[in-house]
Structure 1
Amino acid sequence: MKRAFLEKLLGRIPRISPGEVQVYLENLAREKGFLETIFNAILEGVIVTDIQGKVLYLNRSACAFFGIQEDASLGTSVGEIMHGLDLEAVSGATATISGDLEVCYPQHRFLNFYVVPLMSEAGIEKEMQLEGQGIILRDITETRRMTQATIESERSSALTLLAAGIAHEIGNPLNSLDIHLQLMKRCMKKLPKSLRMELEKSVGVARHEVARLDQITTQFLRAIRPQPLKLDVENLNCLVQESVAFLQVEISNRDILVELELGSTLLKLRVDRNQLKQAFYNVIRNAFQAMKTGGILRIKTGVDASCAFVIFSDTGPGIPAENMSHIFAPYFTTRESGSGLGLMVVKRILQAHGGEVGIESIEGKGVSVILRLPCTVQRTRLLNSGCPRSGLKRETT
């Protein structure tokens, strides 16, 4: 409502009867209620502040975005709600300000916002005067996820193309090097003992490095080149026990205690035993390397309404919060000797089975890696798009 109209209305109050005042107030109340209904119905968040940045109004969506109550937030600084917002820039702004905001509570999401100045006519010359700011917020979480998925898809395609070159340009020369090093070792048997021992040590180091490069190349190819699943009915508990037994020497050398808590009612699953055991190896080795020497690795299996799960919990130092968003990225590692491909392989194997990987970490207390596998093989999955024209109905049996 314009300031000129309010001034005119206030000037007429002495000449208006109480009944007319009541009618005016009822009309104003209806208009206010109608506008509030509209603002509360829209999906975008709306916050209105005065020129000092104090909140005058916020709609239902804005409250939901930040997990706050309207009554408790009125009169507070907008900076207390939108942490990180430049309050001074907003409180004195006469131009539109735009930006993105990450919200962690009550739900992790990303918001795009823009701040517009609210101007009104004032004085005889009707100059525009700043009355406050309006802040419009839009949830862009899904948009960011789709963008990230597109980037990851393009990255995967580029890596797959690169893998074909690596297999030829690195794999074959490494095999040739290893063969020639073996031939050198045989020829060294004819040399004097002192010279032979020195050369054997150098050849041993060279063969070890060749083997390490070959392992990195193999991991890289497994990570980005899809392998067809050879599905068979397997007992998940047995696969976990076999994986632990395979790594028993490394477990003993590192003085690590492995505690197994295997579910008694676990369903048998159709899985590729070799690929799934490879995923287990990678997770277990990551836990060993995090704990270094000593520590406890707890492995728990079980089943819920729709999925079987395996949880690997270590007592290592945990993952810093700033690294959590990068742990599945190729080549990301915090270890000098790490390849940064282990968890990427795990994620690819679980996704090929229709499953998923979750990570929970508490700095200083350890990491839990949760592998979830569907109890039935999922090739496709119908998503609830919310489109009434799809003609699809949910049936229960």
Structure 2
Amino acid sequence: MDLKEDVLLQFFGDFVLLNEILTGPQTKQCLQKIGIKYGMQIEDQFRSEQENQKELSVEQYAQLVTDFFSSLGGEYKVSSWDREKVIFTCRKCPFGHMVLKTPALCEVSAGVLGGMAARNFSYSKVSPERSVAHKSCDCTITVYIKETQDAAEAEGTFFPNEPRAYMLTRNEIQAMSEDAVSTSNVYRNYVQSLENLQTIHREMETEYNQLRDEIFSDLKLGVLTVNVSGKITYMNKTAQNLLHAENHWDTAVTQEFQRLLSGTLHENTRHNQYILNVPFPEGTRYYSVNTAPLLGEDGEVTGAVSVFQDVTEQKILEAEMLQMEKFSLVAELAAGTAHEIRNPMTTMRGFLQILAKEFKSGTKGYEYCELMIEEIDRANAIIKEFLLLTKPAAPNLRECDLHVILEEIFMLIESKSLLEDVKLNKRYAKSLPLVEADPAQIKQVFLNLATNAIQAMPAGGELTIATSVSNGTVVVRFTDTGCGIEEAQLARLFDPFFTTKEQGTGLGLTISYRIIEGHRGRLHADSTPGKGTTFYVELPGLKK
């Protein structure tokens, strides 16, 4: 069957019924869309034969139109063409004299002309320049392919290059008098084609979702998309686990994450490996976040996508490496200077003791000597701590119950807490694995942390010491309700000689850090300015 028979049989298989169909209010729109579809088919066939994927030139467009209508038995000639318009003269209509009875059939031709022009040029408007349905089939049609003043003033139909322009919708078909088309092969075939396309679309969408889930489910990266209003449209399993969320925001946890995506949506801000601190009840996690906007066909932002991963362990290792570099530097400094300083100070102390005997007790000279001896002793204590920091004593390891050590700490700090109006709270786990540790060194660490917590609450407050077990690791928490520590200070908390106290040496926390490190454990802190600070001591528990 040739192209002419194919087209004409589909449109005129039942001429009487077709006349009834073409009396509806949607006639023009429906016939134009049918013309657009056939124009697209003939254009695709031309591109396939010519292996041409570029837009048609004006000359190619005009030739393709005349060849198409000639193949249907019509006679179209190009009267003139330029960069703004193409004028066609029809001497013989492909629909024959039936067009005189039903002039609306000319809209099929308009659809062919306008649809092709819309796909290849920046503008498309079809304008008949004289009536085509009186005594002859002759007509003249102008196709404007550039938006000009003449095009705007001309009467005719504008054809946009949009996907919906190529297909009849169910509403458009049903609007063409349901009683007339319900028994029509044309209607039934079209509805069946539409339903088949919808079925194929649903199947493809299902397959796409399954394939997407299979690809993203095995990724160790979190993948998340949101629409333009910020609502989550997709999360893979990794994203759900990392954010502790399932297809909706937990604003208490992911507020900063939402802020990043909001900037991407509304300010077109892209983030590349942005380190985001996400607070969870069990502690802060660090995520490396990338975000980018999603754009529609018109270039407008339709949503945003984020790909992120947990880099908490990496950040911890980086911090520990930096801390080790600082300790190494301090060790070099201590090894070269500490002993040289202590030797002359020991000599000075001896002569001051002799000199003090030359003065009577209570005289100014005696008081000055005693004061200088005290300051030398204080300097020697700092040097001793300094040497302990650089060369900590090897721990005398044995099995220990941390609850027993903590009870000793409570006894030591009880009187000081009463004087400072600090309430002591215990929150112990019901059972705690034993740890392999040096009781004296661990006691030194606990006492230092508890003392620091009490000193951080000069106006009174609460100190809570709690224990727990997590994945075989014993965790001891010292939580105060003091003034808290600023983020910039928190990063330097374990640096040698860093202190926020007037009388502090800045070595207590550093030594504690080295001791816990020597026990294959971890010491770290979280703080909220104005609310308080929590120090965490983590030690590996012994297996039963």
TM-score, reference length from structure 2: 0.52
**2:278 maps to 1:104:** yes
Structure 1: tracts of 5 or more residues without a match: 74-78, 121-128, 379-397
Change (3 A) 1:34 1:336: farther
The equivalent residue for 2:61 is: none
Quote the offset at 1:19 in angstroms.
Answer: 0.7
**Aligned counterpart, 1:285:** 451
SS of match in other structure, 1:338? coil
Identity %: 17
What letter is aligned with 1:139? F
Offset of 1:59 from its aligned partner?
Answer: 1.2
* 1:231 paired residue number: 397
AA of the residue aligned to 1:17: Y
Aligned partners of 2:534 and 2:364: how far apart in 1? 50
TM-score for both structures, normalised by structure 1: 0.67
Q: 1:22: Cα distance to partner? A: 0.3
Match of 2:291 among 114, 117, 127: 114
Structure with higher Rg: it is: 2
Aligned pairs for 1:363-382 within 5 A: 366-376=532-542
Change (3 A) 1:327 1:219: farther
CA distance in 1, matches of 2:286, 2:230: 22
| 1:300–1:312 contact (8 Å) kept in structure 2 | yes
Unaligned runs of 5+ in 2: 1-118, 120-159, 174-185
Other-structure match for 1:274: 440
2:501 equivalent in structure 1? 335
Structure 2 residue matching 1:83: 3-state secondary structure: helix
Change (3 A) 1:136 1:366: closer
Kept in 1: contact 2:382–2:505 (CA 8 A): no
Change (3 A) 1:345 1:209: closer
Match of 2:195 in 1: 22
What's the offset of the Cα at 1:169? 0.9
The equivalent of 2:317 in structure 1 is 149
CA distance in 2, matches of 1:98, 1:234: 48
More deviation, 366-375/280-289: 366-375
Amino acid at match of 1:322: E
RCO comparison, higher one (Cα < 8 Å, 6+): 1
Gap change, CA 1:267 and 1:18, over 3 Å in 2: closer
1:186 matched to 2:364: no
Q: 1:180, CA displacement in angstroms?
A: 0.9
Letter of the structure 2 residue corresponding to residue 102 of structure 1: L
**Does 2:386 align with 1:217?**
yes
- 2:232 is equivalent to residue 54 of structure 1: no
- Residues of 2 paired with 1:308 and 1:81: CA distance? 31
**Structure 2 SS opposite 1:24:** helix
Whichever residue aligns with residue 192 of structure 2, its letter is G
In structure 1, distance between residues paired with 2:318 and 2:502: 30
Letter in 1 for 2:354: R
2:365 to 175, 190, 196: 196
**Letter matched to residue 305 of structure 2:** I
1:188-212 residue CA offsets vs partner (Å, 9 max, x unmatched): 3214663423522541453254145
| CA 1:306–1:324: 2 relative to 1, 3 Å | farther
> C-alpha root-mean-square deviation of aligned residues, in Å?
4.6
Q: Is the 8 A contact 1:310 1:371 kept in 2?
A: yes
Contact 1:308 1:372 in 2 (8 A): yes
User: Across the two proteins, how many residue pairs are aligned to each other?
Assistant: 353
Is the Cα–Cα contact under 8 Å of residues 226 and 234 in structure 2 kept in the other structure?
no
Amino acid at match of 1:229: P
Structure 1 residues 226 and 11: alpha-carbon distance in aligned structure 2, compared to 1, 3 A threshold: farther
Q: State how 1:219-368 maps to structure 2 within 5 Å.
A: 220-221=389-390, 225=391, 227-243=393-409, 269-292=435-458, 297=463, 299=465, 306=472, 310-314=476-480, 316-320=481-485, 322=487, 326=491, 328-331=493-496, 332-357=498-523, 359=525, 366-368=532-534
Per the alignment, residue 10 of structure 1 pairs with 167
Q: Distance in 2 between matches of 1:253 and 1:151?
A: 37
Q: Over residues 272-318 of structure 1, what are the superposed CA-to-partner deviations in whole Å (9 max), with x where a residue is unaligned?
A: 1222122122112212322347666555668799455545454x415
Which of the numbers 302, 305, 314 marks the counterpart of 1:136? 305
8 Å CA contact 2:432–2:468 kept in 1: the answer is yes
SS in 2 for 1:317: coil
